[in-house]
Structure formats: C-alpha cells, structure tokens
C-alpha cells in the first residue's frame, strides 16, 4: 500500500510543529524520517495515526484521501504503529495485548476467544522467528521482546504500513541488529515501513529513502549512502563535528570509592543495585554503560543519597558519604546532573535566576539573615547565562519555557558553579539537539581536565565512546566488567546483555 | 562465534528488565503469626480447662434436624489458633518461594481467629449457646451492602476511577428505595429505583473526574457530603411531614426449594430475600465478565494503561463514565439493603460508614468480584460476631469488638496479608 502525506500542518497554539510536510512511502520500502528530538517527527506520525487532528493537509492511501478520527480507524485502514513508549498493558499476557481492541469472541456467552488469539500470535511469531510465548505476561518480558509483541500487534491487524517511532532507543546493540533484520523481512514481504529516528547508523543500515525534518519542515532528502557528516548537517542545519576532541586522561588518586553498594526497592523488595564496587580517580571519566533500567539510575542516586541504600558504602577522599544528608553530600563537593531534567533537575515554575541558586540560596553571598539578596542573585544569573550560553529571553523567564538543551545548560551551570571533586551526570544529553550535545560534552571534558572525578551514566553507546576513559557495563544491578573504551561495539553489546568480557570478546 | 550468537539471541528472552532479583518479604508472616500467637495464648490457653462451649446449628424449620454440638472449649480454641498458625506457616513457605497466596487464605485465617474468640467467649456458659446458623445468617446479611459496595469500587477502579463516593451511593440508594417504595407501597419498586439513585451519584463523579479532571478522592468525599446533606434535608422535611413517604417496607424472605433444606448452609444461603439472590448473580456475572469477556478486557486495559487502550481504538473516557455509572448503580442497589431489604424506614446517615468498609473490602479482595465477596463476608462475620457477643455477654467491651473489622482493614491495606496491586492508572485523569 502506498502512503502519501500532502502538506500536513499541525499547530499547538502559536507553535507550528509540522509545517506543510509532504512525504510519500511506497510499499516494500523503508522510508526513514530523520530529525532531531523536537523536530516534529512524532507529531507527524500521531497526526497520521489519528491521535491528533491536522490543521491542514491530506493523507492519501493508494491515492485515495482518508480522514482518521482516531487510532482505531487508522488501524482498520492498515496503518500500524510501534510507539516509542510501548502501548502494552503490563499485567496482560501477550495474547491479551495482541487481541485488545479487536477481540474475537466465542460461544453462546460471547467470551474472549483466547485460543484464536494464541494461534494468531504463534503464527506471526513463527513467520518472523520472534520466539514470543503468547501466554507470557508482558511485564516479565525484556524490552526487545516487548517490541516484538508490538510488531505482532500491528501485523495481527494486517498492517500494510508500519510506523516505528524511535524503535532502538531502548534496545541493546544486538537487539537493534535483530530489529533491523526484522524490518528488512517486513519490507521484503511488501510492507511499507516508516522508521522515525535520529540515529544515523540505523538510517544508513536499512533505509531506502531518507527525508530529513528540521523544526517542523522538510529540509531535504538524502541517500543512505551519504556520509554521516552530510546527514548530520542536514539534520542540524549547520556543520557539526561527529567526534569530541579530548586529550588523553591524566588520572590521579582515587577520589570516590564505592564498596559493595546495594539498593532494594522497599515497595516490591526487588534488588535494583546488587553489591556494586568501583572507584573513580581524579581527572578521569568513568562511563556507566548499559540498557536502561539495569541499576544505573539507582547507582547515581545512591551515591547522592537520594535513594536509601541497603548495604555498602561510598567514600569521598576517605570520608564516608553514605548515611549523610543530600545537603552534606553536595557540600562535600559532589555535583549531580539528574537523569530526568524536568522532574529532578529544575523547578520549571521558577525563574532561570532562581534555578541557578537552588543549592546555595540560603548562604552568603546570595542571602544574609534569612533574606535573599536579589541583586547578587541577578548578577550571578547574568554571569552564568553568559558563560553557559543559555538561550533565554531573560533571566527572569520561567525555566520550564526553555528548550531541553537550555534547561540542561542551567542545570550544568548550577552544578559546576561549586568547587567539585566529583561530578555525576546521568543521561547528560538525553533529548538534546546535536549542538547542545557538543557543548555539554565539552564542558564535561573541561571538568575532567580540571581534575574532577567524573561519572557519566548513559544508555547511548555513542556518548559512552565519546567521553569515557573507562567503561563500567551494568546488567541486572551488577557491574558486569570494567573495560577500556577500545572495546568494540559487538563485545559491548553482549556485555550489556550480561556476558563477561572474556565470553563476549 | 557460534557461542556469541547463541548468547545474543537468548539473552533478551530472560526477562531482562533488570529487576528480576527479588528479595523475600516477611511482613505478612510476621503480622499473621503475631495475631495467631496472641489468639493461642489468650483465647486458647486463656480458656479454662474442663469447660465446654455449645454451638447450636439447628433451626426450628430445618428439614433434617442436626443436634447441637458441644466441644471442649480449651481444645477447640487451641486447635483453631493452631490452624491459624499453620496458615501462617504456609504463607512463610510461599514467601520463601517468592509466591503469593490466594485470597482464600486471609479469609480462612480470619474465620479461625474469630472462631477461637467465639469458643473462648462461649465457654462455661451453661445457659447460653452459640447460635451458629444465626451467626452465619446475620454475617451474610450484614455483608450484603459491603459486597455491593466493594463490587461498585471494583468496577470503577478497574477502569481507573477511584470511587470514594460508595458511601454516598449506598445512602442515595437507601433513600430513594424507601421513598419510591413507600409511594408505591411495594418494596420491590424500591429495589428497582435504588440503582438509579446510585447511578446518578456515579455520573456526577464520572463527569468531574473525566471532563474537569478534579481530584477523584476530593470529588468522592464531597459527593458523600452532598448526599448526606440532601437526604437529611428531605428526611427532616418531606418525610417527617408526611410519614407515609417513609414507611417500613420489607422484602419477603424467599425459600429456594430443596436447597433451603440443606443442613446449616441451606437456611444461611437460601432462606433470604431477593436482594441477596441478586447479589449472588451479580458477583458471578461480574467475575466472569471482568476477566473473560471483551468488555472486561477493555475495562482492565483502560484502568492499567489508558493510552495503550486509546491507541487500539478504545474510547477511554467513555468506558470510564459508563463503568463509574454502572458501579454507582450497583452500590445504589446495595443501598436498598438498609431500608427495604431490612424492613426499616429511612434514617439520617443510616449507612454509617459502610461505604468506606466496602472500599477496604475491595482492596482486601484485590479488585476482583470474587475477592470482594470473600472480604465482605469476613467483615460481615466480624460484625455479626460483635452482635452475638453482645447477646451472650463477654468480658471484652463490645466497642473493641466493633473495631476489629477496621483493624483488619488497616492490616490488609498495609499489605500485611499479601501485596495487592491496584490498577496502575487509577485516579489519573486521561488527557490526550
């Protein structure tokens, strides 16, 4: 089936998320929509899928104009979508998830026909070698398997057009390869596949046609054979360097020592961080790699004292950090860039100026005798905004109104303003545009060169390779191994699935 | 190389969410064990030796006469406490294997503890006997509003709406049943209109929750206040001015042929009025519908992950509004218990917090109709026990016994009797 989007426009208030976007997807091809986060790719697909109403333009299937008032109609017309955040009901089985919304019933009481759903799952699963058990409960499945369930869900409705929204964001490199293989199979069986991504490697590996979107507009098309630099500059709108310049690290003495640290979730009694020991030296960057949800977040938060530890200790230059208040940890010289910037990094309804003194508001020189001194706060804000190139209309603007990249700069500016011995940055560039990523990486390397011990938690392998002096790979709450950044991607991928280095290499 | 590919393809299937390492939880074991030990020491060994407790199971209308049972009090109380301890042991065994226990366990456990209490209280009272059949009958009867209430809660919460307004729905049902029943001079008419009153309260809750995104707990509490205010107003004006609008009607008891003559259980289960029989049907139908039908699958999807439901074409808010109204109607029907099914006229705030206990029964019953029934029966039994002990007289002040259901509720909600997981999206408005 041929899918054509003609001049699709979607506005949110004054903001134009999609500005007259036109693309055509032929059956039996993979069409990549390449663009940065916030470029409008997902909005476009949500319009196509009937989740948003378009403000203008037309959708054509096999040259016939169609209008979808909801996802149900889009699916009935043969459009399937695998969302970035899976649309699966966690406590349901695979079969129940697949049948949901178009259930077959049986018997006089019209009860659910689970047998039919099971055999449907098995049939599709066998056709594409998915190895998915129809009776498995979805929340017990790995992320990769859940994604395959999503694909089965789409195919069980006879999807002729399959939209994959950032499908590899949560996968290990091996799972990514498997997915790309599946996409290839789907294409060969005649499905039109739309791949939404900002990852150049995948685009080059699988796409037949590439449309690049920037700020809600189509800025051009490209060939899979074009160089990464070319694709990146189309995506960002200016030349970007794909590598981070950094000198060889000159590690000093161990600064931060983590010994047998464990974290247990009090509600479910599940061990999230399991007996982790590692040390970080002054002037080096230790990257924590791994698929999301393998204990990295808990490690960072346990060092900070944000989550309660179940055992083990963290020491900073011989002084114990565990058991101290977060305030004392910060005062000891630990800087923290949290993973969820908007939830934990900033107070969105505070001004930029106030966010910049969140950690120091009650001290000299920002306040005296319990009163904040506005002039000092203002001067500080102006200086930091200048130094970190925060693009804001004013230092009195609400931080929530800034773009993700600029919010992150505010967080960095605040954390780096103290004299640090240790910097912990969780997913420091998640959701940022390429320009901001460059900036953040440079700042982190500057800190390292000043002699700060740096821990980077990242689920993006590219980022890990760009920054790390040593890489600790985590799986199921444990550190699998600590390896050098020369380790190749395949080995890393296997380690991220739990194999030790010697088995993986 | 081949080893590598095997590893790569098998690794993702191990459930690698990164959170598979579970530790054992002993909360339930400790909680249940402590209560069972207290029961053993206090009721078991606290009963003097050589005395007996007499349980009467027969009623005069029985087809087959079963003689009274007299048991050695101390031995019986000790045995029942040991049963409770054994059940605790089973919980510990399951916890050791990381497994949960069924809903039946806390129910049987509760019965054992209360049985021990009953034996202890009835010991050495030659003049009085414990009316077992009477006790069970009143337990079932007192459980009726709780069953309907917790079914209402289950229906709403499974679709993602928190229904604190059960109390108000019960009261509205009780009021309208009395009013319209009195006007028509027929208790059955009251039974028909009661669900309408509850459904209307449910509709208000649904509108505020889905259209205006008001905090559902706040709306629920406010609706309870509103219904109390309205019914009290009409009670003290209209009904007081014209007592014919508030008569004591009652549904006749209907004996089911054959089934009613089963010893002990027959009179308890099958010599009841129509509302009780409706309750049996509603529990069974909802249990099947919620877990085996298309409707049930969709409702549960909406309550767990509304966006996922939306993306497969299920109308989230429509489902929620319908379920909340249906839940309200079920609670309203349960409200008829207080007036037409009990043979009483309407009285101010006559539901007396039963709606909140129903909410607890819903949680203890883990959001399933079957569990709701079991939990409501347990609470009903505790209530009946209080009444019974009040009659035979016991050294425990009845106020303390009246607290036991509430105490059990707190323990249940705190997760001491097995972890219960509410629908993931409950209380969260669905906004596109």
Round to whole Å and give the CA distance between A286 and A300. Answer: 12
Contact between A342 and A431 (Cβ < 8 Å): no
Contact between A492 and A289 (Cβ < 8 Å): yes
Nearest CA in chain A to B95: A269
Q: Give the per-residue pLDDT at A26.
A: 92
Q: How confident is the model at residue B241 (pLDDT cuts 50, 70, 90)?
A: very high
Q: What does pTM read for this prediction?
A: 0.80
Q: Is B309 within 8 Å of chain A by CB?
A: yes
Residues of chain B neighbouring A49 (CB-CB closer than 8 A) = 311
Q: Is B16 within 8 Å of chain A by CB?
A: yes
Shortest CA gap B425–chain A (Å): 11
- Whether the CA torsion A474, A480, A485, A487 is positive or negative: it is negative
Q: Say how many Å lie between the first and final Cα of chain B, rounded.
A: 48
Give domain status of residue B191, yes or no.
yes
Render pLDDT for B179-204 as a digit per residue (tens, 0 to 9): 999 999 999 999 999 999 999 999 99
Q: Do A89 and B308 count as a contact with CB atoms less than 8 A apart?
A: yes
Same-domain status, A146 and A92: yes
Ranked by mean pLDDT, the top range of A396-405, A447-456, B373-382, B387-396 is: A447-456
- How, if at all, do strands A371-372 and A367-368 pair? antiparallel
Give domain status of residue A165, yes or no.
yes
Alpha-carbon distances of A208 from A168, A219, A265, A267, rounded to whole Å: 18, 18, 45, 48
Shortest CA gap B145–chain A (Å): 28
- For residue A477, give the nearest of B12, B15, B21 by CB distance: B21
Same-domain status, A193 and A261: no
Contact between A391 and A363 (Cβ < 8 Å): no
Q: Give the per-residue pLDDT at B17.
A: 39
Give domain status of residue B189, yes or no.
yes
Residues 6+ apart with CB under 8 A from A60: A2, A3, A4, A5, A6, A66
Residue A181: which CATH number? 3.40.50.300
Q: Is B1 within 8 Å of chain A by CB?
A: no
Same-domain status, A146 and A215: yes
Q: Do A476 and B11 count as a contact with CB atoms less than 8 A apart?
A: no
Cα dihedral: A384, A389, A395, A398 (round 10)? -120
Residue B310: which CATH number? 1.10.3470
Q: How confident is the model at residue B6 (pLDDT cuts 50, 70, 90)?
A: very low
Q: Do A75 and B312 count as a contact with CB atoms less than 8 A apart?
A: yes
Q: Is B20 within 8 Å of chain A by CB?
A: yes
Round to whole Å and give the CA distance between A488 and A492. Answer: 6
Q: Give the per-residue pLDDT at B19.
A: 41
Strand partners, A194: A31, A163
Q: Do B304 and A92 count as a contact with CB atoms less than 8 A apart?
A: yes
Q: Which residue out of A488, A497, A502 would a mutagenesis test of the B interface target, given it has the greatest number of B Cβ atoms within 10 Å? A: A497
Nearest CA in chain B to A111: B293
Residues of chain A neighbouring B99 (CB-CB closer than 8 A) = none
Q: How confident is the model at residue B119 (pLDDT cuts 50, 70, 90)?
A: confident
Give domain status of residue A243, yes or no.
no
Q: Is A194 helix (H, G, I), strand (E, B) or coil?
A: strand
Shortest CA gap A475–chain B (Å): 7
Residues 6+ apart with CB under 8 A from A392: A352, A385, A402, A406
Give domain status of residue A389, yes or no.
yes
Give domain status of residue A301, yes or no.
yes
Q: Do A142 and B301 count as a contact with CB atoms less than 8 A apart?
A: no
Q: Which residue out of A69, A142, A271, A495 would a mutagenesis test of the B interface target, given it has the greatest number of B Cβ atoms within 10 Å? A: A142
Same-domain status, A227 and A269: no
Q: Do A142 and B424 count as a contact with CB atoms less than 8 A apart?
A: no
Top pLDDT among A350 and B132 is at: A350
Shortest CA gap B25–chain A (Å): 7
Tally of structural domains, chain B: 1
Q: Do B292 and A89 count as a contact with CB atoms less than 8 A apart?
A: no
- Phi first, then psi, for residue A33 (nearest 5°) are -105, 110
Top pLDDT among B336 and A38 is at: B336
Q: Give the per-residue pLDDT at B63.
A: 54
Q: Is B17 within 8 Å of chain A by CB?
A: yes
- Mean predicted lDDT score pLDDT of chain B: 85
Same-domain status, A337 and A460: yes
Q: Give the per-residue pLDDT at A288.
A: 95
Shortest CA gap B302–chain A (Å): 9
Same-domain status, A231 and A260: no
- For residue A96, give the nearest of B14, B19, B297 by CB distance: B297
Give domain status of residue B123, yes or no.
no
Q: Do A174 and B24 count as a contact with CB atoms less than 8 A apart?
A: no
Nearest CA in chain A to B308: A87
Q: Which residue out of A84, A89, A178, A488 would a mutagenesis test of the B interface target, given it has the greatest number of B Cβ atoms within 10 Å? A: A89
Render pLDDT for B136-191 as a digit per residue (tens, 0 to 9): 888 999 999 999 999 999 999 999 999 999 999 999 999 999 999 999 999 999 99
Mind giving me the DSSP string for A273-342? EEEEEEEEETT-EEEEE-STTSSHHHHHHHHHTSS--SEEEEEETTEE-TTS-HHHHHHTTEEEE-SSII
Residues of chain B neighbouring A490 (CB-CB closer than 8 A) = 4
- Phi first, then psi, for residue B75 (nearest 5°) are -60, -40
Shortest CA gap B253–chain A (Å): 31
Alpha carbon A306 to its chain centroid, in Å, reads 22
Q: Is B300 within 8 Å of chain A by CB?
A: yes
Give domain status of residue B423, yes or no.
no
Q: Is A92 helix (H, G, I), strand (E, B) or coil?
A: coil
Round to whole Å and give the CA distance between A195 and A175. Answer: 16
Shortest CA gap A155–chain B (Å): 13
Domain membership of residue B166 as a residue range: 136-380
B 237-296: CB under 8 A from A:
288, 292-294
Give domain status of residue B205, yes or no.
yes
Same-domain status, A77 and A189: yes
Q: Do B11 and A499 count as a contact with CB atoms less than 8 A apart?
A: yes
Same-domain status, A68 and A145: yes
ipTM exceeding cut-off 0.90 for this assembly: no
Average pLDDT over residues B35-50: 85
Give domain status of residue A244, yes or no.
no
Residues of chain B neighbouring A489 (CB-CB closer than 8 A) = none
Q: Give the per-residue pLDDT at B5.
A: 35
Q: Do B8 and A174 count as a contact with CB atoms less than 8 A apart?
A: yes
Contact between B316 and B302 (Cβ < 8 Å): yes
Q: Give the per-residue pLDDT at B336.
A: 95
Give domain status of residue B164, yes or no.
yes
Round to whole Å and give the CA distance between A500 and B7. Answer: 11
Same-domain status, A259 and A133: no
Q: Is B23 within 8 Å of chain A by CB?
A: yes
Element (H, E) at B7: helix B2-10
Q: Is B297 within 8 Å of chain A by CB?
A: yes
Residues of chain A neighbouring B307 (CB-CB closer than 8 A) = 87
Residues of chain A neighbouring B419 (CB-CB closer than 8 A) = 268
Same-domain status, A403 and A291: yes
> Which of A162-171, B218-227, B246-255, B266-275 is least confident?
A162-171
Contacts 24+ apart (CB under 8 A), A213-216: A213/A21, A213/A33, A213/A34, A213/A35, A213/A39, A213/A40, A213/A41, A213/A44, A214/A35, A214/A36, A214/A39, A215/A19, A215/A39, A215/A40, A216/A16, A216/A17, A216/A18, A216/A19, A216/A21, A216/A39, A216/A40, A216/A43
Strand partners, B404: none
Report the b/e string of A285-323 with b at 16+ CB within 10 A: bbbbbbbbbbbbbbbbbbbbbebebbebebbbeeeebbe
Interface A–B counts its CB contacts (< 8 A) at 162
Q: Do A72 and B312 count as a contact with CB atoms less than 8 A apart?
A: yes
Shortest CA gap A141–chain B (Å): 4
- Give per-10-residue mean pLDDT for chain A (505 aa): 91 86 93 84 87 90 90 89 90 95 90 94 90 91 89 92 86 84 92 89 90 89 86 80 77 93 82 92 94 88 91 92 91 92 88 92 85 91 91 88 86 92 91 80 92 92 91 93 91 88 75
Tally of structural domains, chain A: 2
Same-domain status, A223 and A309: no
Q: Do A477 and B8 count as a contact with CB atoms less than 8 A apart?
A: no
Residue A378, exposed/middle/buried by CB under 10 A (0-12, 13-18, 19+)?
middle
> Which of A16-25, B49-58, B261-270 is least confident?
B49-58
Residues of chain B neighbouring A307 (CB-CB closer than 8 A) = none
Q: Of A80, A72, A67, A124, which Cα lies nearest the Cα of A103?
A: A72
Give domain status of residue B211, yes or no.
yes
Give domain status of residue B95, yes or no.
no
Q: Is B126 within 8 Å of chain A by CB?
A: no
Q: Give the per-residue pLDDT at B415.
A: 59
Report whether pLDDT(B333) > 50: yes
Residues of chain A neighbouring B310 (CB-CB closer than 8 A) = 51, 70-71
Domain membership of residue A215 as a residue range: 3-236
Nearest CA in chain A to B12: A142
Q: Of A47, A70, A87, A55, which Cα lies nearest the Cα of B318?
A: A70
- For residue B308, give the nearest of A87, A174, A476 by CB distance: A87
Q: Do B305 and A144 count as a contact with CB atoms less than 8 A apart?
A: no
């Amino acid at each position: 089936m041929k899918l054509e989007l003609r001049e699709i426009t979607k506005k949110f208030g004054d903001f134009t998320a999609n500005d007259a976007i036109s693309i055509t997807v032929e059956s039996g091809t993979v069409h990549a929509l390449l663009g940065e986060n916030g470029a409008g790719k997902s909005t476009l697909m949500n319009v196509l899928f009937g989740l948003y109403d378009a403000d203008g333009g037309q959708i054509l299937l096999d040259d016939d104009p169609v209008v979808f008032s909801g996802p149900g109609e889009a699916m009935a017309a043969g459009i399937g979508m695998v969302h970035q955040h899976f649309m699966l009901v966690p406590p349901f089985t695979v079969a129940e998830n697949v049948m949901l919304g178009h259930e077959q019933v049986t018997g006089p009481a019209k009860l659910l026909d689970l047998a039919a759903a099971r055999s449907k799952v098995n049939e599709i699963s066998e056709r594409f070698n998915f190895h998915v058990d129809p009776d498995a409960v979805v929340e017990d499945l790995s992320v990769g398997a859940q994604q395959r369930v999503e694909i089965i869900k789409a195919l069980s409705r006879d999807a002729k057009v399959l939209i994959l929204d950032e499908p590899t964001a949560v996968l290990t490199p091996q799972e990514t390869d498997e997915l790309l293989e599946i996409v290839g199979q789907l294409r060969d069986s005649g499905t039109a596949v739309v791949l939404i991504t900002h990852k150049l490697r995948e685009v080059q590996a699988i796409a037949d046609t590439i449309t690049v979107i920037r700020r809600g507009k189509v800025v051009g098309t490209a060939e899979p054979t074009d160089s990464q630099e070319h694709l990146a500059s189309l995506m960002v709108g200016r030349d970007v360097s794909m590598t981070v310049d950094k000198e060889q690290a000159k590690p000093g003495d161990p600064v931060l020592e983590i010994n047998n640290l464990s974290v247990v979730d009090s509600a479910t009694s599940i061990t999230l961080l399991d007996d982790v020991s590692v040390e970080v030296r002054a002037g080096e960057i230790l990257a924590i790699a791994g698929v999301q949800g393998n204990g990295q977040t808990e490690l960072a938060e346990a060092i900070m004292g944000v989550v309660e530890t179940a055992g083990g200790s963290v020491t900073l230059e011989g002084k114990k950090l565990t058991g101290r208040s977060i305030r004392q940890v910060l005062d000891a010289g630990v800087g923290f860039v949290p993973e969820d910037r908007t939830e934990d990094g900033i107070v969105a309804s505070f001004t930029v100026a106030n966010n910049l003194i969140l950690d120091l508001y009650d001290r000299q020189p920002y306040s005296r005798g319990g009163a904040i001194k506005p002039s000092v706060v203002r001067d500080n804000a102006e200086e930091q905004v200048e130094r970190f190139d925060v693009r804001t209309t004013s230092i009195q603007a609400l931080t929530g109104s800034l773009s993700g990249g600029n919010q992150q700069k505010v967080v960095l500016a605040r954390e780096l303003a103290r004299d640090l011995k240790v910097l912990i940055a969780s997913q420091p560039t998640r959701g940022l545009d390429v320009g901001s990523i460059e900036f953040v990486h440079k700042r982190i390397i500057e800190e390292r060169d000043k002699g700060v011990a740096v821990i980077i938690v990242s689920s993006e392998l590219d980022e890990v390779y760009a920054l790390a002096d040593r890489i600790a790979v985590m799986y199921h709450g444990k550190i699998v191994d600590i390896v050098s950044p020369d380790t190749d991607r395949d080995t890393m991928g296997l380690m991220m699935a739990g194999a030790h280095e010697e088995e993986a290499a | 190389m081949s080893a590598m590919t095997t590893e790569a393809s098998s690794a993702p299937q191990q459930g690698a969410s990164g959170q598979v390492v579970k530790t054992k939880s002993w909360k339930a074991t400790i909680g249940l064990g402590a209560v069972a030990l207290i029961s053993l020491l206090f009721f078991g060994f606290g009963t003097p030796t050589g005395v007996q407790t007499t349980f009467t199971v027969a009623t005069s209308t029985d087809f087959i006469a079963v003689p009274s049972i007299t048991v050695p009090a101390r031995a019986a109380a000790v045995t029942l406490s040991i049963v409770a301890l054994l059940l605790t042991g089973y919980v510990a065994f399951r916890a050791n294997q990381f497994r949960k226990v069924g809903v039946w366990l806390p129910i049987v456990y509760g019965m054992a503890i209360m049985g021990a209490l009953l034996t202890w209280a009835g010991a050495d009272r030659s003049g009085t006997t414990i009316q077992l059949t009477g006790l069970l009958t009143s337990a079932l009867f007192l459980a009726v509003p709780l069953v309907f209430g917790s079914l209402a809660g289950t229906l709403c919460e499974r679709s993602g709406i928190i229904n604190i307004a059960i109390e108000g729905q019960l009261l509205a049902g009780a009021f309208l049943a009395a009013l319209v029943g009195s006007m028509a001079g027929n208790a059955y008419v009251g039974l028909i209109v009661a669900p309408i009153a509850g459904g209307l309260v449910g509709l208000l809750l649904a509108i505020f929750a889905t259209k205006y995104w008001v905090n559902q707990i706040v709306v629920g509490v406010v609706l309870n206040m509103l219904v109390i205010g309205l019914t009290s107003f009409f009670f003290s004006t209209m009904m007081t001015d014209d007592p014919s609008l508030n008569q004591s009607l009652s549904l006749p008891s209907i004996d089911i042929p054959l089934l009613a003559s089963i010893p002990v259980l027959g009179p308890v289960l099958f010599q009841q009025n129509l509302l009780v029989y409706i309750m049996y049907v509603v529990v069974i139908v909802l249990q099947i519908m919620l877990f085996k039908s298309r409707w049930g699958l969709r409702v549960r999807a909406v309550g767990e992950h509304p966006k996922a439901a939306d993306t497969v074409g299920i109308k989230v808010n429509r489902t929620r509004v319908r379920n909340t109204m249906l839940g309200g109607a079920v609670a309203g029907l349960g409200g008829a218990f207080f007036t037409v099914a009990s043979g009483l006229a309407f009285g101010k705030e006559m539901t007396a917090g039963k709606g909140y206990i129903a909410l607890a029964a819903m949680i203890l019953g883990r959001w399933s109709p079957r569990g709701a029934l079991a939990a409501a029966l347990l609470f009903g039994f505790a209530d009946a026990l209080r009444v019974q002990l009040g009659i035979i007289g016991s050294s425990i002040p009845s106020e303390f016994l009246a607290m036991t259901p509430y105490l059990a509720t707190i323990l249940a909600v705190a997760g001491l009797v097995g972890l219960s997981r509410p629908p993931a999206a409950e209380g969260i408005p669905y906004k596109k």
